[in-house]
Chain A
């Protein structure tokens, strides 16, 4: 694998770091949101679900533009950055993580929400009649039963973070070792006519996408079987 330049290796490492961190954050934050969306009867749960789903249809440049404002010196991101004497979160790795979380949120929340909804009230009622507190029922019944949803949420969240391009360009730029992830690297190689590097990366990402989609299909098959 010495065929790849050190710069490419840096981009690969950075991409994996970004996607892993984003996925972990999304599972921790997304699970309670998905739980609430699946079980609440409040009228404003659908408007909130809609806000979470918006990155699905918004052009990445639009989302990127708003994120740039939010992360910049005059937005909340700038205030947070001020805590460690920086001016802005834009064009930083931290900013990229925040952007990725927002962008990939629907891909994680939706499958988990579906899994929570599909299992219905019954398992939780059974748990309650067996003296399980709501907290215990969540961890010992709801989460294990929704495991396929967590699995596909994690896979989709990871894959979409790896594949994002427009937002990275808007809020991250292309700073090697900080914000230059694979999708941006491919773009740069094409710009500078480094076809060999571009070819290898593009093929690698195509294979990655193939594996992800195949894995998703297999997980869904398993869910359908278990749901019988």
Chain B
């Protein structure tokens, strides 16, 4: 199953904007296209959908070619589901008929199960809305209907263009859990355009970083977060997202033990079941370094690790990338420390240190589907 892959490469201009973007990503899980506004994310997504056509384009999903030098499959023949920034429901149809507009087409080969109407209505909480007209729905409700409508067209690839950006905070919080449940319950690959790192840390498995019409980097989320050469590790809110498995839960203290590659974290939790997968997020500014195990402290997590690189962030700070474990070959962490401490402790790449982690946060609501 490891061979399923999405290949996309588009070169050309749309109006005055020039795009030269190429990437590959696995055809499973959520791939986020991330970058500043106007960097061409949406154009790439539209090209994959066939809504824009650039002269030099190549697009193949799972071995099936949608566009190359000599062929171009029109949008309505591509097995996609597309969620636009604005819900764009058909105003002349009620919610039920919007949902069913693309349904009833042939089931795709290689798709194990059809996505059923009742299932979608249930998953997205649409039962009470079915007979309403779109103009009587709130922004969040509309976007949920739009997502359901796309799912019911039985896509083999979901394309989502900042589906939350037109919504206020409250509506966002209302939809994110649905997207997370979607991710858990359907084995449908998703390409998700976002410019909000929060959404990405909650949803994405893979990341394609874009800037000014070009792809800067592409790979697994955690790898790009902890790449010293990429801008992500340099931001104030730099963090790593790790998919961890619950090893045990101490109900007495309300503390869960989570395993990641190369280490264990103790995390305060209300209720988690052993064996469950959870995504955790660790901010670079919550990790400090010690050259030896200090006296006992209230910090729950002190993990042996090795410094892989240390890069200056601004004038007075160093961002260190750590590999968990004595050999440093486990999961990666980011640590933001002052240059003064760095020099005082004589830290440098290759050294063994202890990472003191002040806070480990669960990515809210999410149970990762990744089993490593």
Q: Which residues of A contact B (CB under 8 A)?
A: 122-123, 125-134, 137, 140-141, 144-145, 147, 226
Contact = CB atoms under 8 A, between A and B. Distances in A.
Contact of B91 (A125, A127, A132, A226): A226
Closest 4 CB pairs of A and B: A130-B102, A129-B82, A128-B75, A128-B76
B90 A126 contact: yes
Contact of A128 (B51, B81, B91, B149): B51
A125 B90 CA distance: 11
A125 B92 contact: no
Contacts of B50: 128
Given A130-B102, A131-B105, A144 B92 contact: yes
Interface string B60-96: 0000000000000011110011101010101110000
Contacts of B91: 145, 226
Contacts of B92: 144-145, 147
Contacts of B51: 125, 128-129
Nearest to A228: B135
A129 B80 CA distance: 7
B100 to A, nearest CB: 10
A130 B49 contact: no
A168 B101 CA distance: 48
Contacts of A127: 76, 101
A128 B91 CA distance: 16
Given A129-B75, A130-B101, A134-B76, A122 B84 contact: yes
A129 B88 CA distance: 12
30 contacts: A122-B86, A122-B88, A123-B90, A125-B82, A125-B84, A126-B82, A126-B84, A126-B88, A126-B90, A127-B76, A127-B101, A128-B76, A129-B49, A129-B51, A129-B75, A129-B76, A129-B81, A129-B82, A129-B150, A130-B76, A130-B153, A131-B76, A131-B105, A131-B153, A132-B101, A134-B76, A137-B76, A145-B92, A147-B92, A226-B91
Contact of B76 (A122, A133, A144, A145): A133
Contacts of A134: 76
Interface of B: 49-51, 74-77, 80-82, 84, 86, 88, 90-92, 101-102, 105, 149-150, 153
A141 B92 CA distance: 8
A99 to B, nearest CB: 36
A136 to B, nearest CB: 8
A123 B86 CA distance: 11
Contacts of A126: 82, 84, 88, 90
A123 B134 CA distance: 14
Contacts of B102: 129-132
A46 to B, nearest CB: 21
Contacts of B77: 131
B111 to A, nearest CB: 14
Nearest to B74: A128
Contacts of B153: 129-131
Given A126-B82, A131-B153, A132-B102, 17 more contacts: A122-B86, A122-B88, A123-B90, A125-B84, A126-B84, A128-B76, A129-B81, A129-B102, A129-B150, A130-B76, A130-B101, A130-B150, A131-B76, A133-B76, A134-B76, A137-B76, A145-B91
A226 B92 CA distance: 9
Contacts of A125: 51, 75, 82, 84
A122 B88 CA distance: 7
A145 B92 CA distance: 7
Contacts of A141: 90
B14 to A, nearest CB: 14
A226 B133 CA distance: 12
B306 to A, nearest CB: 48
A126 B93 CA distance: 13
B115 to A, nearest CB: 13
Contacts of B101: 127, 130, 132, 140
Contacts of B74: 128
Contact of A132 (B76, B82, B88, B150): B76
Contacts of A140: 101
